[in-house]
Amino acid sequence: MDFADSAPKALCDYYKQFDGSEDEKNLLERLLSSETMKPVWEAFEKRYSEMFEKSYLEMIENPPDAAKITVWRKFTKAWKPSFSSDRYDASYSLPAFGLFFAYYHLSGNQEPPRQKIEKFRGISDSAKKLSRLIKGTRFDRLLPGSEYLYLDLEDERPNFMVPGVSSPPMHTVSTFLKEISKRAKNLSNKAEEEKHSQIVPNPGAKNARANFFIRLMSIKFKILFGSPRPALLAALACVVLNDDEIDENTVKSTLREWKNNRRRNWLKNKSLSSE
The model's pLDDT over 181-200, given as tens digits with 9 standing for 90+, comes to 888 888 787 777 655 557 77
Instruction: For residues 223 and 190, state if they share a domain.
Output: no
Domain with 144, as residue range(s), is: 113-197
Instruction: For residues 3 and 82, state if they share a domain.
Output: yes
Percent of the chain with pLDDT over 70: 69
CB 32 within 8 A of CB 12: yes
**Which of helix, strand or coil describes residue 158?**
strand
How many other β-carbons are positioned within 10 Å of the β-carbon of residue 234? 20
112, exposed or middle or buried, with CB in 10 Å at 0-12, 13-18, 19+?
A: middle
pLDDT at residue 193, rounded to an integer:
64
Distance CA 31, CA 3 (A): 9
For residue 150, pLDDT beyond 50: no
**Is residue 54, in this structure, part of any structural domain at all?**
yes
Q: Average pLDDT, stretch 24-31?
A: 94
For residue 81, pLDDT beyond 50: no
Residue 60, Cα to own-chain centre: how many angstroms? 32
pLDDT in tens, 99-114: 899 889 888 877 776 7
**Is residue 5, in this structure, part of any structural domain at all?**
yes
**Is residue 105, in this structure, part of any structural domain at all?**
no
The count of structural domains within the chain is 3
The torsion defined by the Cα of 103, 106, 110 and 115, in degrees rounded to 10, comes to: -130
171, exposed or middle or buried, with CB in 10 Å at 0-12, 13-18, 19+?
A: middle
Q: Average pLDDT, stretch 22-29?
A: 93
Report for 79-88, 135-144, 212-221: range of highest mean pLDDT = 212-221
40 closest CA partner among 15, 6, 3:
6
Instruction: For residues 189 and 231, state if they share a domain.
Output: no
CB 130 within 8 A of CB 177: yes
Distance CA 124, CA 240 (A): 37
Bridge partners (DSSP) of residue 172 are 142
Q: Which of 22-26, 48-52, 250-254 has the lowest mean pLDDT?
A: 48-52
CA distances to 72, 79, 97, 173, 266 from 62, in Å: 10, 16, 32, 52, 45
Instruction: For residues 42 and 66, state if they share a domain.
Output: yes
